[in-house]
Structure 1
Amino acid sequence: MKRLNAIFLMLCALYAVPAWSLHTVKGIIKDKETHPVIGASVIIRSLQDTLNHKGCITNENGQFIIEKIESGKYSIEISFIGYTDYRQEFELDQSLDFGEIVLAENTMLLDEVVVTASMVKRFADKKEYKLTNIEKEQYSSALSALEHLPKIQVIDQTVNSVDGKAVKILINGIPSTPTDLSVISSENISKLDYYTQPPIQYSNMGLGAVINVITKEKHNGGSVGINTQNAVTTGFGNNAVNFKYNWGNSQLGVTYNINYRNYNKRILDEDMSYAVGGITYQKQKNGKKSPYAYEQQMAEISFNNSKSDNYIFSTKLSFNSLNRRRSSAQDIISTVNDRVFEKIGQSSDKDKYISPALDMYFSKTFNAKHELTMNFVGTYYKSDYNYQYSELSDGLTDFETATDINLDKYSLIGEAIYNYNMKTAQLYVGSRYMYNNSTQKNLSSNNHTLTNEIYSYIGVTGMLGKKFNYSVSAGVNGNIFTTIENKEYKFVYFRPQVKLSYFIDESSDLTFNYEVNTDNPAVSSLTYNPYYKDANYLFAGNPNLKPSNNHDLSLSYFKSFKKFVLNAEVAYSYDKDAIAPVFQSDDTNIIETFGNLDNAQNMKASLFLQWYPFSNNILRLRLYSEVFHQINAFGNEKWNHTGYSFIPSINLAYKKWGVSVFYQTEKKSLVGQTMKTIPSMASVEVSYSPIKNFTLTGGIRYPFYDSWKQITSVSGTSLLQRTETERIINNANMVYINLVYNFAFGKNKPNLKLKMQNKDKDSGILNRY
């Protein structure tokens, strides 16, 4: 918490005047519900000379301490937005502890507490949000509290931006996950650092934002967090439990998370038509209710040791596993050159993996200007995939296909970044190395794939005057692929990034961003592994894939009023050699594979609105909408699509009750030579918090729907017409219960020096893989 501590010391120094005695005045500022008031202004003023005064602001525990005060008569003046000013006269002839001072709420100003710009601080590369105690009570956990941030949505213990992009989570500067946040009380949040334009080290991850959650000072003792979400109408659950114990500068944590699905009404329909060798094949497959289930588990033990403004060390050892099964039964009408056959189709696919991982993180600060951060991640995957499909005619097998893949994969990721903090700018230099070694055990030879990537970068970010913010960086990406055919490919890309922001006034800004990224093919895409989907239609990987090179430009306008937030953006991307599904023909078979498109272009305009219509802020209305146009080119083919998305939501919070309504339209978009949909979704939730740190929520998902539905179709090629519709009827009108409970035990750290409790644990460094 370096920034908070720095502000604390500066303000104390500004108010200070020399030649005072060595008496000390201290105390704790709280509200009527005994929550600490963070950032309150405290001034000690001499009654003999009102110009003679000292002061500071309260830390994250609501504490203040003012030293070196002469004997005499004084007044203490305390103020904070949303509360009535406090003033008391006293005579000082020895050190004085005021104990707890309770501020009364100013109901005339309460409507300004949440949304005024004073609760949002703007920095060169981020916005800092502080939640009031009233706001924290509206959220069941630190994870759900992220929805306080513009354009962030939380569903099923996952965090995304409203445009569907992933969000990277840090806790006190340490790489973390949404699961970690789901078992932390919202009351434990000190502030939220919101990076809407991820720094260069995140630029090739497709992120919509980076969020660093700064928590309050750790206590000596422990905490337990539970977050369970389980359906009562079908097999659906997301559950996490966490235990943490703190002592001195150290913390030990244990987390277990299990997500499961167990459905019995999955239906897979498919219409397909293609011609090969002068023969036309057509199939209409009507699915029957079939099972679908999986269990995804994570067990983790973590250890952190840190000293404010000095170092952070964190290590995590985790074990991850997945076991997924699904099958499908279908009635088939098959037509071959106008001859009609009736068949029964049966498919089964199973995939599972186990994956231990070790994640080590270290950050060290030198002389407040220099900071070195290192991260090492080692991961092992042992995965198995089995797929079987058969068609029966009159009880006899007419067609069957199968594939069995066993893969061992080792990966190492290491990154180091150095920061140098100047008066108005920050210089950073970093390098990341990634190594993947995979062996396909089901093949006796030509079964080895090796990838190496190194990414080095240098950049500077800072302010030009008070209105302009800049961030300029340059990186070089080098890739070496060795395929199962023992062919080696080398690629080098130059990756610049430029971000320019103009601060129009205290509550509005205009931001331009341009960056170049690379997208490397996944090991699964490089692995050949052919198998037939139909008699003359097969799927295979492509060992000859190369990385794609993506150019992104965007212009964003942000405006915050007292009760209203507006964020408009226009963006354009040009992806050369985009990696995407494509279809080919060898005159014998139709081949579905991954290829490098000539280019893929995307133009988008979006608008985000947020409004608190009432003075007590019990109601929050949100709306995100976007329209986009895509153009893909591959060989002699060129195709396009125009789509849209519309996501409104309503949140009502009154005392211990809450109501949330969410809806999103179906979104269709091009992915290579396929058209894929993000399904429409709706939910209604009612929550109740009978006691502190305990929230019980009941909800219904997909109300008035007949199923969850996702459609994938072929687009941009005449080789094949195919539409696949997957439906899960179990999800329709699904009723679920969410229970969140957090409790702590132990006591505060000994108050040896107040400045030790005033430190900000924000490392200020962002690097995660």
Structure 2
Amino acid sequence: MKKSKFCILFVLFVIAANIAAVDAQIVLKGKVTTREEEPVAFAAVSLRGMRDTTRLVETAVTDMQGNYAFGKHREGKYLLTIQSLGFRTLNDTVHIRRSSLGNTYEMRKDYLLEEEATAIDDVVVVGTNVTHYLDRTVYRVTNADRRTAVTGLDLTNKVPQVTLDRINETVSSSDGAVTILVNGIAASAQELKTISPEEVGQIEYYDLPPIRYGGGNAVLNIVTQEVRDGFYGGIDLKHAVPVRWLNDSFYLRYNRGRSQLTFRYYASWHKSDAQFVDDEYRYALNGTDYAQYLHTSGGYRSFYNDFNLKYTNQLQDKYVFQATFYPSLRNNENHYDSQIEFLEGAAGMQRYGNYRTESKIFNPTLDLYFWRQLGRKQELIMAITGNYFDSGLDTRSSEYDSADDRPVFEDFLTVDGRKYSAIGQALYIKNFEKVAFSVGERFAYESNIAHTASWLSGDRQERTTRMNNYLAAEVSGKIKTRFSYRFSLGVIASRTVTAGNDSWQWVFAPNVIAGYQISSSFIVKAGFSQANTSPSLGMLDDRIAMITQNIVSRGNPSLKNGFRNSAFIGTGYTNKWLNINVTCLYGYAKNPINYYYRQDGARYEYMPVNDKSSETCGINYALQLTPFENDILTIKLQGGVYYTNLNSGVLGRVGYLRIPLSYYIQFAWKNLSAFYQGNIVTGNMVPPMIVYSDLGSGIGIIYKYRNFAFSLSCANFLIRPESRSHTIDGSAVWRKSTGSQRDSYNRVMLGVSYNFGRGRVYNEAERHISNRDSPLRRGRIPLPVGCFPYWSISSRCC
């Protein structure tokens, strides 16, 4: 009996062991590197069944160290695929099984990737680490890029369409204004200085941003990769000698688990007493010819204090919550003295004058942002921004007869203003197999209360209110692997209330783009969009201020809203040493707003007026050359040819051709880099003026040593730039102006920065880096251009 029981137990044990062997769950992990033994971050690793390779079992993405890990899977054969930007796709048959030594339920497989141009689905992957999509281009940041970069701001120069002014530390784009994001959330150029180059994984440049990012301005999204617990900080100092000019900043950041707390401070102080302006006015008034020649000298002082306190709590692929409080205080002073020759008919008079102005702005802002994953293919984004502005302005100007010091005219203007604004938005996103759908609403409210006192207008209390509501839906997808499309339709309701005007406007804002992949390095795309245009609150203000004798400035409460249609066709081409983007464009605007001199009785008024229409056609280009290995030499060119035909109710039809060109050259070797940047002089029609850009020339050297970076640069190198402008032929008042700041010639600037940090990798199981359009890239939705023209004022971080 005991023997039979033992036999039964033995048989059951053998059966259980076999079942356990069949159902054993094995973890597959490993590391992906290059031939130079550098880790490959952000590589997509997929696991498929061998019987049906179309069945995706699991996907993973390598971390900063190149490590990947799958969950538990049954023993058996699988097809493992590794894809990464700029590398050859690797396929391997993997037999997942327990180790022959012991009962280890982990299996390790390391891989080596080789660089080579290839194609992945509907995107282009080239050995230059550049990926083209319909609405954006993605640039993978390499170790060669990080070697000479001091902060994340320096890495933006990797994008051909982006211009990083190394002297003034500003970012612009060949496609117009640029919105800066970090992981999809609104940021600023100063915030990029708090990010180390090692933290940046890739940079996304949206030349055609979706409604998630506003659908208007170009978007530059910095995608960071590794989160480490610990305490980090840095200081950046930049001073000019002997000129009184400085830009200083420092930051502190503390990471712990899912939370991050950051404090940042930025101070800017500029002072100059070497500004010179020559102005000329000529006009006829009631049958008498007038002329005025002013030789002005003076200077300015500006002091900016910006504070930023930010708290972030996030769980990758789950949620993101961010709260930011950033008060700022700004003071500006200007003082000028003039020698004036005034002619009235045949009579002449020698005069002297002075001009003084002082302004202060206190602007605290609270910004709340929340993103949530609703299931695997649904997302929700909500954000609200509140602003308060307390501003003061005191301006005084006067002219005197040089013969007896008799006052010819005196004017003053004081403004005590309060402004409140709130901007909110919500966006829902649903992803299907081949189509993505988004729907969102955005509202904005702004109220401006100002008490003004002036010699011409007396004491006045003014209140202006504007409300906007924008509802939009968007559908995007692809057909097969070469054709992609995106269509969006928005409805904008806008109400503006002033003392003498209460108006509503309803505008449909459609947007459609389509792209076709011709080859592995060549994409063609085209599109059409429509947006409304509205006057700013300042344009609607009927306040009067003196410019000079017989000429005043004022607003126009009767301004009307308009709209703008835009169409384009563009191409993008990339290979190992060349990246070029060319776009042909056409724009039509109805009721555009421009300023003109118009006679009103015994004086001229400089005021905004609705023109009939304007048309602009042209071509712009952004080209980047890297002819040598490791990007030792980089050459960037940005420019275009544009022709504008204005149908003005004041000047009639006016045409103007503009040909801008800027250039940037960089040499990088190990931890040393040198650059030269500049631009040619080109005119731009800004009615009633033709305004010429300053000639640009800057040179600099940057050296990195451990946690330190040292820079030596020179602005306006070997040149003496002048700002020039004159009125368009046919203007009622002829004006010509030439200005210069002589202490800016060959201005030498010294910079030093130091960054520190110590921590450990935060290894939460859910916190893995995703190779798709991850939630950290899905941030706030900046307003479309023309929809809410005061967005950049109400929400400075955008």
Task: Give your verdict on TM over 0.5.
Answer: yes
Q: Are 2:238 and 2:247, in contact at CA under 8 Å, matched by a contact in 1?
A: yes
1:146, 1:152 within 8 Å by CA — same for their partners in 2?
yes
Checking the alignment, whether the CA contact within 8 Å between 2:494 and 2:505 is kept in structure 1 is yes
Alignment check: 8 A CA contact 2:174 2:620 kept: no
Cα deviation, residue 117, structure 1: 4.8
Distance 2:764 2:360 in 1: 52
CA distance in 2, matches of 1:500, 1:547: 29
Does the 8 Å contact 2:371/2:775 carry over to 1? Answer: no
Structure 2 residue 768 is the aligned partner of structure 1 residue 757: yes
Preserved CA contact (<8 Å) 1:458 1:473: yes
1:273 aligns with 2:250: no
The answer to whether the aligner puts 1:369 opposite 2:377 as a matched pair is yes
Structure 1 residues 328-337 or 30-39, which shifts more? 30-39
What corresponds to 1:726 in structure 2? Answer: 739
Residue 132 (structure 1) shift: 1.2
Q: What are the Cα deviations for residues 6-56 of structure 1, in whole angstroms up to 9, with x where unaligned?
A: xxxxxxxxxxxx9684454545567899974314588999xxxxxxx9996
Match of 1:335 among 343, 356, 361: 343
Residue in 1 that maps onto 2:271? 262
Work out which of the residue numbers 713, 718, 736 in structure 2 matches 1:699.
713
Q: Which of the residues 710, 713, 718 maps onto 2:726? A: 713
Q: Is 1:58 aligned to residue 73 of structure 2?
A: no
Amino acid at match of 2:626: Y
- For 2:210, the aligned partner's letter is P
5 Å-filtered alignment, 1:35-184, equals 36-39=39-42, 58-66=62-70, 93-95=102-104, 116-117=126-127, 119-155=129-165, 156-162=168-174, 165-184=176-195
Shift of 1:210: 0.8
The alignment of Structure 1 onto Structure 2 pairs a total of residues equal to 732
Distance 1:125-1:338 versus aligned 2 partners, 3 A rule: same
Alignment CA distance shift 1:491-1:508 (3 Å): same
Q: 1:500 aligns with which of 514, 527, 542?
A: 514
Q: Which residue type is aligned with residue 273 of structure 2?
A: N
Deviations along 1:73-115, one digit per CA (max 9) or x if unpaired, are 99x99998689x9x9x996545499999898x98x989xxx99
The equivalent of 2:748 in structure 1 is: 735
Change in Cα spacing, 1:467 to 1:30, as seen in structure 2 (3 Å) is closer
Greater CA drift, 90-99 or 354-363: 90-99
- Displacement of 1:576: 1.0
Report the CA distance shift for 1:116/1:236 in structure 2 as closer, same or farther (over 3 A): farther
Counterpart-to-counterpart distance in 1, 2:22 and 2:753: 53
- Structure 1 position 721, deviation (Å): 0.2
- Going from structure 1 to structure 2, the CA distance change for 1:276 and 1:497 (only over 3 Å counts) comes to same
Query: For the residues of structure 1 that align with 2:361 and 2:109, how far apart are their CA atoms?
Result: 54
Residue 624 to residue 763, structure 1, CA distance change in 2 (3 Å): closer
Q: What SS does the corresponding residue of 2:155 show, helix, strand or coil?
A: helix
Instruction: Measure, in 1, the Cα distance between the counterparts of 2:183 and 2:759.
Output: 21
Deviation at 1:473, TM superposition (A): 1.0
For 2:287 and 2:134, the matched residues in 1 are separated by 64
**1:273 Cα deviation from its structure 2 partner:** 0.6
**1:233 and 2:242 aligned:** yes
* Residues 163-185 of structure 1: per-residue CA shift (max 9 Å, x gap): 5x221111112111111111211
Query: Given the superposition, is the C-alpha separation of residues 484 and 21 from structure 1 closer, same or farther in structure 2, using an over 3 Å criterion?
Result: same
- Cα distance between partner residues in 1 of 2:289 and 2:229: 73
- CA 1:135 to 1:231, structure 2 compared with 1: closer, same or farther past 3 Å? same
- Find the counterpart in structure 2 of residue 324 from structure 1: 332
State the shift of 1:664 in Å: 0.7
CA distance in 1, matches of 2:540, 2:258: 46
| 2:296 aligned partner | 287
Q: Distance in 1 between matches of 2:203 and 2:70?
A: 28
Q: Return the alpha-carbon distance in structure 1 between the equivalents of residues 337 and 548 of structure 2.
A: 15
The corresponding residue for 1:482 is: 497
The alignment status of 1:642 with 2:657, answered yes or no, reads yes
Question: Cα–Cα, structure 1 residues 39 and 718, in superposed 2: closer, same or farther, change >3 Å?
Answer: closer
Q: Choose the corresponding residue for 2:209, options 198, 208, 229.
A: 198
Q: CA deviation at 1:151?
A: 0.8
**2:522 and 2:242 mapped to 1: Cα distance?**
46
CA distance in 1, matches of 2:341, 2:749: 39
Q: Is the 8 A contact 1:301 1:316 kept in 2?
A: yes
Matches within 5 A, 1:565-604: 565-604=579-618
Supply the AA of the counterpart residue of 2:169: Q
Matched, 1:213 2:222: yes
Match of residue 433 from structure 2 = 423
Once residues 39 and 481 of structure 1 are traced to their aligned partners in structure 2, the CA distance between those partners, rounded to angstroms, is 48
Shift of 1:304: 0.9
Whole-angstrom distance in 1 between the partners of 2:264 and 2:36: 31
- In the superposition, the TM-score normalised over structure 1's length comes to 0.88
Query: How far apart, in 2, do the equivalents of 1:193 and 1:28 lie?
Result: 26
Distance in 1 (CA, whole Å) between partners of 2:637 and 2:235 is 31
Rounded to whole Å, the distance in 1 between the matches of 2:731 and 2:220 is 44
Aligned to 1:382: 390
Larger radius of gyration: 2
Change (3 A) 1:564 1:528: same
Question: Aligned partners of 2:744 and 2:164: how far apart in 1?
Answer: 19
The CA RMSD over aligned residues, in Å, is 3.4
**1:654 alignment counterpart:** 669
TM-score (norm 2): 0.85
Give the match for residue 793 of structure 2. Answer: none
Q: Cα–Cα, structure 1 residues 91 and 326, in superposed 2: closer, same or farther, change >3 Å?
A: farther
User: Unpaired runs of 5+ in structure 1?
Assistant: 1-17, 46-52
CA drift at 1:318:
0.9
Q: Is the 8 A contact 2:692 2:723 kept in 1?
A: yes
Contact 1:346–1:391 (CA<8 Å) still a contact in 2? Answer: yes
Q: Which amino acid counterpart does residue 237 of structure 1 have in structure 2? A: L
Please say if residues 28 and 98 of structure 1, whose CA atoms lie closer than 8 Å, have aligned partners that are also in contact. no
- In the other structure, the counterpart of 1:620 is 634
**Distance of 1:373 and 1:175 partners within structure 2:** 13
Aligned to 1:629: 643
How far apart, CA to CA, are the structure 2 residues paired with 1:118 and 1:537? 58
1:717 Cα deviation from its structure 2 partner:
3.4
Asked if the contact 2:27/2:107 (under 8 Å) is kept, the reply is: no
Change (3 A) 1:377 1:593: same
**Alpha-carbon distance in structure 1 between the residues aligned to 2:69 and 2:212:** 40
Conserved? CA contact 1:527–1:541, under 8 Å: yes
Pair 66,321 (structure 1): closer, same or farther in 2 beyond 3 Å: same
Of 194, 216, 223, the residue aligned with 2:232 is 223
* Alignment partners' CA distance in 1, 2:444 and 2:327: 21
Give 1:622's aligned amino acid: K
CA distance in 2, matches of 1:736, 1:268: 25
Matched, 1:543 2:550: no
- Aligned amino acid, residue 354 of structure 1: F
Aligned residue number for residue 524 of structure 1:
538
Q: Deviations over 1:155-206 (max 9, x none)?
A: 223211035x22111111211111111121111002222211122466585x
TM-fit CA distance, 1:470 = 1.0
Deviation at 1:366, TM superposition (A): 0.6
The structure-2 alpha-carbon separation of the partners of 1:445 and 1:404, relative to structure 1 and needing over 3 Å to count, comes to: closer
Q: Distance in 2 between matches of 1:20 and 1:442?
A: 81
Instruction: Give the CA deviation at 1:57.
Output: 5.3
State the distance in 2 between where 1:324 and 1:568 align: 41
| Residue identity in the other structure for 2:726 | S
What residue is the counterpart of 2:788 in the other structure? none
Q: Sequence identity, in percent? A: 23
Letter in 2 for 1:170: L
Question: Does 2:468 align with 1:453?
Answer: yes
